[in-house]
Amino acid sequence: MKLTDLKQALKDLSLEYSRIKDLPQEERKAFGQEINRKKLAILAEIEVEEARLEAVDIKPIDLTAPMAENVEVKPKRHGSKHPLMVELDKVIDIYSNMGFEVMESTQLDDEFHMFESLNFPEGHPARDGYDTFRTKEGFIPPAHTSTMQYRALTSRLDQLEQDGQIAVVIPGRVFRNEDVDATHEHTFYQCEGVFVSKTATMGQMLGVLKNFFETYYGQSLNTKTQPGYFPFTEPSLEFQIEKPKALGGKGDGWLEMMGCGMIHPNVLKTAGIDPTIYKGFAWGGGIDRLVILKYQLDDIRFFESGKLNFLEEF
């Protein structure tokens, strides 16, 4: 018997001995002698088993080993990178190679950075166009990465004077109080771009965006713009590209990709930059849209669902 079994038998014997009080007086002596005989026999077996175990050459356990010896190695399931993060890294790499710094966006902000610093006066009707969440303390999960423009500009005023320009891209997660369905999500990713110099022009901006999308899709692309409206840019544009071949394009369709425009003088002035000396442009586009187009997905909710069967496809 194993040592553990012998010790258990000894415990069971103790329980059996407790019955002696219920026996007639004349039977107790014989019962006690029998229990004692069994106990001595078990103790002898325990002694023999302990001596045997002490004689066994046991190999010390290697605490650093990944598994025991002679154990079948089960195949590992390696996780994959989320498709949004794959595309976000690709977007950042392209802008970095174009000379833009990368600045991380905040995930909790306030009224000033969300509205006032971006030329949304108090009571401005354009504020109603952003279905913002608010905490009970009055903070705002940013509804767009443009909330970082003021920080990007004010933290680089010395750089502007020394190097003559500010060039920053700001990727981040944003939040909208949306009714969630296949085409609307309350949480998604954007990438903001900001450029300021004495000679910044709309032509430069359109060149930057054209270069970005041509690099991203790996082909030459026709582009066009149409008028738009954002309180923080003037003039404001919607930037479109011809449908790339990678998305099944045959030169006969257009895709609206992002909003852009020249930074409004009030935004520069609020950040401490003289708009009579410096000019700037800014743009912002969704990362989720790039992924949806690339993989021809029909439900934006997959990104935040945590469904492994979806994520394992990437």
Q: What is the pLDDT of residues 259-273, one digit of tens each?
A: 999 999 999 999 999
Tokens of 93: 């790499």
The model's pTM: 0.72
Quickly list DSSP for 226-267.
EEEEETTEEEEEEEEEEPPGGGT--SS-EEEEEEEEEEPHHH
- Please say which residue of 49, 76, 103 terminates a domain: 76
**257: pLDDT strictly greater than 90:** yes
Same domain, 69 and 96: no
- Please say which residue of 76, 107, 133 terminates a domain: 76
DSSP one-letter code for 305 = T
Q: Point out which residues pair with 191 in neighbouring strands.
A: 171, 285
**136: pLDDT strictly greater than 90:** no
Same domain, 164 and 237: yes
Same domain, 70 and 216: no
Same domain, 153 and 54: no
Whether 223 and 254 have beta carbons less than 8 Å apart is answered as: no
What was the pLDDT predicted at 147? 92
Same domain, 133 and 179: yes
How far apart, in whole angstroms, are the C-alpha atoms of residue 280 and residue 196?
Answer: 4
**Backbone phi and psi for residue 139, each to the nearest 5 degrees, phi listed first:** -80, 160
- Please say which residue of 76, 103, 137 terminates a domain: 76
Range of the domain at 24: 1-76
Distance of alpha carbon 233 from its chain centroid, rounded? 30
**68: pLDDT strictly greater than 70:** no
Domain count, the chain: 2
Same domain, 183 and 281: yes
Same domain, 132 and 8: no
Same domain, 168 and 120: yes
Percent of the chain with pLDDT over 70: 95
Encode pLDDT of 156-213 as tens digits. 999 999 999 999 999 999 988 777 787 778 888 999 999 999 999 999 999 999 999 9
**70: pLDDT strictly greater than 90:** no
Same domain, 178 and 249: yes
Same domain, 52 and 95: no
Same domain, 172 and 253: yes
Mean pLDDT of all residues in the chain? 87
Same domain, 201 and 239: yes
Sorted by sequence, the CB contacts under 8 Å of residue 151 that are 6+ apart come out as 103, 113
How far apart, in whole angstroms, are the C-alpha atoms of residue 204 and residue 181?
Answer: 37
CATH number, domain at 276? 3.30.930.10
- Of the pLDDT bands very low, low, confident and very high (cuts 50, 70, 90), residue 29 is confident
What was the pLDDT predicted at 127? 63
- DSSP H helical ranges for the chain: 3-17, 25-55, 83-97, 111-114, 149-154, 157-163, 202-217, 265-270, 287-295, 308-311
